[in-house]
Amino acid sequence: MTAKEVIAAIRNVPDFPIKGIQFKDITTALSRPDCLVWMRDEIVKRYKGLGITQVVGIESRGFILAPAVAMELGAGFVPIRKPNKLPAETVSVTYQKEYGEDSIQMHKDALKPEDVVLIHDDILATGGSMAAAIELVKKLGVKKIYVNCIIELEGLNGMEFLKGKAEDINCLLSIEVDE
């Protein structure tokens, strides 16, 4: 399995969720065991040995691989959810997306100061939702933060926007926005 083969397995959905957006649907790659294993293993290789204690997955597609990566790293899994989805006391951040405003939340007691956190999501576009996730995790005062996404959408400057906000920011694959 190669990065090129995984990219070929990702479906492009025009005009979703709104007109003008070229949505990169990873579900077609996730349905293939070889792609799924490749993605998990590549993430684990990059972060093994860094002392990750918690893998934080961003709702909703960040939930898909984050628990598998957490298990391989011997870490726990913590979800970041949309508002009113978590049952206990939460901390929140509101941010601008490329097509509107959104908020995310995490349980207030989900992370500890000694935690080394890997935040994971499927797509890095402009960086707004990941920056909000980093801000949310920082509110809980953790030791270190690493960031991983499966796909970086080239040309939207998400990596540049996130520069300096975490120890390491990495995407497994890069895809042109219009590909």
∠ CA 25-27-33, nearest 5°, is: 140
pLDDT tens for the 179 residues of the chain, in order:
999 999 999 999 999 988 888 899 999 999 999 999 999 999 999 999 999 999 999 999 999 999 999 999 999 999 999 999 999 999 999 998 766 789 999 999 999 999 999 999 999 998 999 999 999 999 999 999 999 999 999 999 999 999 999 999 999 999 998 76
Closest C-alpha to 43, from 6, 15, 86, 98: 6
Is residue 78 within 8 A of residue 45, CB to CB? The reply is no
Q: Which residues are catalytic?
A: 61, 98
Q: How far is CA 46 from the centre of its chain?
A: 15
- Report the topology of domain 49-176: Rossmann fold (3.40.50)
